[in-house]
Amino acid sequence: MEDLKQRIEDLEKRIEKQREESKGILGKMGEKISFSGGVELDFGYANDSDPADNTVNDSTSDLDIETVELGAEVKFHEYMTGNLLLKGEALDSGSDRVFWDEATITIQKEGFPVYFIGGKRGQPFGVFESHLINDPITKECYEIAKTGATVGFTPGLLGLDISGTVYKGEVLADKLYNAGFGLTRSTSSTTYSVTDDVSSYIGNITVSPVEGLALAVFYDSGPGDGDRNETIGSMFKFQIWKLTFDAEYMKAISREKNYTDGKAYKESAWFGAIALQIAEPLELAARYEGFDDDRSGDQGGTMENRYSIGANYTLFKKDIFSTTIMAEYRGSNFEKESGSACDDKLDEFLVRLAIAF
């Protein structure tokens, strides 16, 4: 009986030791991994269901879970971090998209000026600041969400960050011509084959000379049909008191020729925005955007400009959780050539309920 009692006591000690060890492992994992995420419920209304057809003037509305995100940051080492972001979009659209929006490895040691970021993410061409529900026009036309490899240099002077990035494919050309602003890609399809080689690259310089001010210039070059498709851009952000000013400009400096008419159209896009934090929970914002397709005369259905005003109100914020309601009105103006079947104006109203942690 004494021997059995001793065995039971030994077993209880081993079980308790294993519990403590498992707690230690979970605790260490908690120190290495942090999670984030969010859910966005969107309601949208437009006064015209088909701006491309001026004979159809009925309004349309939509209600959908626009975005679901779950992200994780993993500290593999003192200077090696992994980031993962799983995203779902338009879950009621009938064409549900669940995909890895971000999967990167960052190698950066504190105090050492050179860093590396490799993987899928929004590559460093454009900043696309927004205080509204809709993305700015520069993001719609020029965002490069693709796997790439970036080497950067941060000397610790004036917030200077210089980086170079390589990625594969003709991502910028595809993004621009599929953005729905009136431009279409016309290549010599009988002789031209779209490449997926690692032959695109980005240069980026960011600086913050004084507190509250950030400036950036960036350059992208990708293969095209004959000439390369090259684009430059710049960004300005200034925060003072309760005000934030944002501006961004993108300009094509080289474009492949349009096979239909033999011309190379060097489009440009830009926006200017202001946001005012009236009180802790309430922010007001406004933005004006422009687009120039570099074609003479008016083209039916081509975006000309648009403007937005909106408000964001934080319903509650506790610990790591927050809930915000956002509202936005956006008016869009389109070019209208004589005899075109396209409308020249579209009014939209959007509301979003966003939960984030």
83-102 per-position pLDDT tens digit: 999 999 988 876 668 899 99
Q: Which domains does the chain have, with CATH numbers?
A: 121-356 (2.40.160.10)
Closest among 263, 267, 52, 258 to 142, alpha carbons compared: 267
Closest among 181, 80, 167 to 124, alpha carbons compared: 167
Q: Kindly state the tokens that stand for 106.
A: 């960052």
Residue 49 confidence (pLDDT) above 90: no
Angle, vertex CA 285, rays to CA 335 and CA 129, nearest 5: 80
Closest among 139, 136, 137, 135 to 126, alpha carbons compared: 139
The DSSP code sequence of 82-114 is EEEEEEEE-TTSSS-EEEEEEEEEEEE-TT-SE
94 φ/ψ sector (left φ>0, alpha ψ -120 to 50, else beta): left
Place of tokens 């419920």: 41
Q: What is the pLDDT of residues 222-278, one digit of tens each?
A: 999 999 999 999 999 999 999 999 999 999 999 999 988 999 999 999 999 999 999
Average pLDDT, the chain: 91
Lowest model confidence (mean pLDDT) among 69-83, 87-101, 136-150: 87-101
Closest among 267, 307, 298, 47 to 179, alpha carbons compared: 267
Tell me, what's the pLDDT at 94? 66
CB contact at 8 A, 350 and 323: no
Q: What is the pLDDT of residues 30-45, one digit of tens each?
A: 678 999 999 999 999 9
In angstroms, the CA 36 to CA 85 distance is: 9
Other CB atoms within 10 Å distance of the CB of residue 281: 13
DSSP state of 120: E
Tell me the CA distances in angstroms from 89 to 39, 68, 95, 353, one per residue in order.
10, 7, 9, 15
Closest among 284, 278, 233 to 131, alpha carbons compared: 284
